Amino acid sequence: MDISPINKTLTEPTPESTMTHPDAPLLRASINSRQMSMIAIGGVIGAGLFVGSGSVVNTAGPAALVAYTGCGLVVVLIMRMLAELSVASPTTGSFAAYASREFGSWAGQTIGWLYAYSWSITVGIEAVIGGGLVHELWPQVPAWLAALVCMALLTGCNLLTVRAYGEVEFWFSTIKVGAICLFLVLGVVAIAGWFPGVPAPGTSNLLGDGGFAPHGWAALLPALLVVMFSYNGTEVVTIAAGEAVRPAEAVRKAMRSTVLRILTFYIGSVAVFVTLMPSDDASITRSPYAAVLEKLGIPGGALIMQYLVLVAVLSCLNSGIYTSSRMLFALSSNGEAPAALTRTSRRGVPVRAILAVSVVGFVTGVANYFLSTSSLFVLLTGTTGSIVVLVYLCIAATQIRSRSRARREGVALPVRMWGFPYISWAVIVLLLGFTAMLAVNAETRPPLVLTLIAASVAMACAVVRQRRTSSRTDAARTATSQLKLAENDAVGDRRN
């Protein structure tokens, strides 16, 4: 059996995979550089840092620093690869569009749908967490009702204009960044022994009570998945590039500064946690920032952090609606999702894509009436926890192929990955090794299996679609060729 047509279908980009349909609506370029610089931060600094980091510290002990530093370095390299791709060709589809260009529509459609699905679930998660926080602050407000109100407000914000989304995200992120910077300053002062009434801890919490890794280095494995999930969102700025006023310049500046800020906030915060507090302290699991503020004797520290976490959750919810709706719009523009999702308002807003994403959040809010917040959190994160690893693998593989093609064609790239191809391949090896570790660990295996099942379904659908598209294209070319031959024969007959 000749399998060459199948191989061609799966490896060569089709015309549909390399460009947006010419009749597809366009989004409006309204996001300025000031907003772009904060958009990436908004998607990353959320409940994963303010709450999830506490569970990582409790699980791994001070060795959590290794987890955040190691994963952070991998993220830096991935973002450099993505910067190379996006500065050369800014587009709303970002890495999904680049995967379609380099490997064929099946690759972009698979990773695009997985990514949109992941962020849609994140919207539901953040809505439920936000509703729970509002209920804690104002017990008379039911958590499910608060979740629905949060969804309605931020859906409305995204439906107005992209400028409204960018401005709201800018101020959300500004509040978060300012609070974390103040926290880090207080932490450094306390660690140095300069904070009134708080003696310098030295290395007692870092090396005492079981040592740097009190539960063994194997405890890092389940922690790594939470850490990797927490870093998810740095790529949002490349999706927003399609609506930036000066996309290439905006992406270059944002990627250069944002990654360093995020690493500082994550690694710096965790360093303060594990230096000032015992890792087995129960208060760290609930809210590590509040635990540190209470230790320093700052009045109302816990209440301040509740409000700050609420802002962070709303920020991530806002980013989630934006990111997943734009990915759905990009997929639809390439014919890889229902065409209705490309419909835009007069202000250039993809209304139907936003509403499609928001449905997930509203359904989750209603479900919160019947299920507890913790039960919903476990249920929703089960199939999405490992998708970020697949996204990073896709970005790395796409960058390697794109850079090789650029070399052959003599194309000069404005931003280039360091140490190509060695570091790029090293990142892929690290990610595959990380996936293998998730597979052998009993705690992380179920989320990985669920993610792989979701990926397999998405890939199967994408391959079937590309084969059908390729068959229709081949049939159209054959018909055109036959028509031309018939016309040539007719002309020959008339001459004779």
CA gap 491, 486 in Å, rounded: 9
| pLDDT computed for residue 479 by the predictor | 55
pLDDT of residue 20: 45
Is pLDDT of 120 > 90?
no
Between CA 19 and CA 321, with CA 356 as vertex, the angle to 5 degrees is 80
Query: Residue 414 gets which letter from DSSP?
Result: S
Domains along the sequence of the chain with CATH: 33-488 (1.20.1740.10)
Task: Return the percentage of the chain with pLDDT > 90, whole number.
Answer: 23
Q: Which of 125, 436, 120, 180 is closest to 304 using CA atoms?
A: 180
252 C-beta neighbours (distance < 10 Å), count: 18
Cα distances from 12 to residues 5, 18, 103, 131, in angstroms, run 10, 10, 6, 47
Residue matched to tokens 């999706």: 239
| Average pLDDT, integer, range 330-351 | 86
Which secondary-structure segment (H or E) carries 18? none
Q: Is pLDDT of 489 > 70?
A: no
Give the integer Cα–Cα distance in Å for 99 and 365: 34
Contact criterion met (CB below 8 Å) for 134 and 146 = yes
Confidence of residue 18 (pLDDT cuts 50, 70, 90): very low
DSSP state of 208: S
Interatomic CA distance for residues 34 and 472, integer angstroms: 46
Question: With left for phi above 0 and alpha for psi between -120 and 50, is residue 31 left, alpha or beta?
Answer: beta
Give the Cβ contact number of residue 32 at 10 Å.
16
Q: In whole angstroms, what separates CA 121 from the centre of its chain?
A: 12
Measured between alpha carbons, how far is 390 from 395 in angstroms, rounded to an integer? 9
Of 250-254, 271-275, 402-406, least confident by mean pLDDT is 250-254
What is the C-alpha separation between 140 and 253, in angstroms, rounded?
Answer: 45
Which residues are CB-contacts of 123 (< 8 A; sequence separation ≥ 6)? 151, 317, 320, 321, 324, 357, 358, 360, 361, 364
Mean pLDDT, rounded, for 328-353? 87
Alpha-carbon separation of residue 148 from 143, 312, 362, 380 (angstroms): 9, 17, 6, 17
Q: What is the pLDDT of residues 65-86, one digit of tens each?
A: 999 998 888 988 998 999 899 8
Least confident of 174-188, 215-229, 377-391: 377-391
End-to-end CA distance of the chain: 43
Place of tokens 């602050």: 137
* Strand residues in 234-276 grouped as ranges (E): none
- The token pair at 34 is 């000031």
State whether the Cα torsion 57-62-63-68 is positive or negative: positive
Tell me, what's the pLDDT at 190?
93
Classified as helix, coil or strand, 25 is: coil
Tell me the per-residue pLDDT of 424-474, one tens digit each, with 9 for 90 and over: 999 999 999 988 988 887 877 888 888 888 889 989 988 888 888 766 655
Least trusted range by pLDDT, from 79-88, 307-316, 358-367:
358-367
The token pair at 271 is: 């360093």
Structure tokens given for 397: 């593989």
pLDDT tens, position by position, 185-233:
999 999 998 988 888 888 888 887 788 888 888 888 878 877 887 887 7
Distance CA 417, CA 399 (A): 9
Q: What is the pTM of this model?
A: 0.83
Type and span of the H or E element at 52: none
Do the beta carbons of residue 217 and residue 16 sit within 8 Å? no
Query: Which range is most confident: 47-51, 194-198, 401-405?
Result: 401-405
**pLDDT band, residue 262 (cuts 50/70/90):** confident
Helix residue spans in 45-161 (DSSP H): 47, 53-60, 64-88, 94-103, 105-137, 143-160
Structure tokens at 473: 């294209």
d(CA 145, CA 122) in angstroms, rounded, equals: 18
For residues 417 and 80, the answer to whether their CB atoms sit within 8 Å is: yes
User: Per the structure block, which two tokens stand in for 447?
Assistant: 């989320």
Report the 10 Å Cβ neighbour count for 257.
13
**What is the structure's pLDDT at 41?**
74
Query: Is residue 139 very low, low, confident or very high in pLDDT (cuts 50, 70, 90)?
Result: very high
Q: Does an H or E element contain 205, and which?
A: helix 204-207
Task: Give the pLDDT score at 36.
Answer: 77
What's the mean pLDDT in 112-134?
A: 86
Q: At what angle do helices 373-381 and 351-367 cross, to 10 degrees?
A: 130
Structural element, H or E, at residue 419: none
pLDDT of amino acid 485: 57
Judge whether 83 and 241 are in contact, CB under 8 Å. no
Distance CA 183, CA 186 (A): 5
* 45 secondary structure, DSSP code: S
Q: What is the pLDDT of residue 37?
A: 73
The CB density around residue 191, as the number of other CB atoms within 10 Å, is 17
Which one has a higher pLDDT value, 259 or 341? 341
Give 352's pLDDT tier (boundaries 50, 70, 90).
Answer: very high
